[in-house]
Amino acid sequence: MRSLNIGATGMLAQQLNVEVISNNIANMNTTGYKRQRAEFQDLLYQNIRRVGSASSDAGTIVPTGIQLGLGVKSAAIYRLSGQGNILQTENPLDLAVNGRGFLMVELPNGDTAYTRAGSLQLSPDGDIVTSDGYVVQPGITVPEDAQAITINESGEVYADLDGQTAPQRVGQLELANFANEAGLDAIGNNLLLETNASGQASVATPGSAGFGRIIQGALETSNVNVVSEITNLITAQRAYEMNSKVIESSDEMMRSVSQLR
């Protein structure tokens, strides 16, 4: 009774689907979060009568054959990198990337991580850091006597110093791009790592060809569409119930066979 195992694979697939959807909903207010989508593939087929095989000595062939599918399997959880909404915060160290590109962050072990979450702060030494204290690359230090910080669309950082009329340029932010953003490895805390699947980072200043621009005093919200996620959740729930019904029906059929006299 293959349908028992087939129904079980369907239930496992929909369970994974619900877990992905629930993670999207849980992160609907996470800055810079990119929603995910589960993708599935059909399993191997059992050939009871192979298509294209000879059906007689006269050279006739089987036009369709008999192939029985054995269920479904998880193929990937794909990250959708669509642009989130831009939320104005009026905080000078909140930065939103409008377009492609990631801010670069130096981890404590020296590795470089990438993020779209631009809720930045100043360290005790005046370095621009993330909410976890990781230095944003390339390292930019704001003078202690700075009265205000201005960051333009090209990522140039200026500080208004006491006693000076013109603002002083203190650094230049850069963005990183990848050929395959879905291939980045998520490690939590809104951080991603480069992998062989993502390809090597291409670094340039904001506003360059193929790179987004910086918006100061704003954050990029999650690109999760709550209405769409709820619809997907209901669909996954119904699919789970139908697969469980397949197992229940198969069990009743086996019971009927066992009761034959």
**Per-residue pLDDT at 48:** 83
Nearest CA-CA partner of 70 in 48, 96, 37: 48
Q: What is the pLDDT of residue 1?
A: 81
Expressed as residue numbers, the domain containing 97 is 86-220
Mean pLDDT, residues 58-71 taken together: 85
Note the pLDDT of residue 121. 93
**Cβ neighbour number for residue 167 with a 10 Å cutoff:** 17
d(CA 221, CA 201): 23
41 and 55 inside one domain = yes
**Same domain assignment for residues 111 and 160:** yes
Q: Distance from CA of residue 223 to its chain's centroid?
A: 10
pLDDT value, residue 52: 81
Q: Are residues 99 and 216 in the same domain?
A: yes
- What are the tokens at 196? 């062989």
Identify the residue with better confidence: 64 or 3. 3
Q: Are residues 166 and 128 in the same domain?
A: yes
Determine the pLDDT at residue 146: 87
For residues 155 and 34, membership in a common domain is answered with no
Average pLDDT over residues 68-93: 92
Q: What is the pLDDT of residue 166?
A: 87
- Examine the domain organization and report whether 131 and 186 are in the same domain: yes
Same domain, 51 and 126: no
Residues 144 and 101 in one domain: yes
pLDDT the model gives residue 42: 92
Quick: pLDDT tens for 214-259: 999 999 999 999 999 999 999 999 999 999 999 999 988 888 888 8
Q: Please compute, for residue 250, the number of CA atoms within 13 A of its CA located in the half-sphere on the CB side.
A: 14
Instruction: Please classify residue 161 by burial: count the beta carbons closer than 10 Å to its beta carbon, then call 0-12 exposed, 13-18 middle and 19+ buried.
Output: middle
Calculate what percentage of the chain has a pLDDT beyond 70.
Answer: 100
ω into residue 92 within 30 of 0, thus cis?
Answer: no
CB 177 within 8 A of CB 202: yes
Mean pLDDT in residue range 112-119? 94
Do residues 169 and 241 share a domain? Answer: no
95 and 138: one domain?
Answer: yes
The number of distinct structural domains making up the chain is: 2
How confident is the prediction for the chain on average, in pLDDT?
92
Mean pLDDT throughout 157-164?
Answer: 86
DSSP structure string for 106-158: E-TTS-EEEES--B-EE-TTSBEE-TT-PEEESP-B--TTEEEEEE-TT-EEE
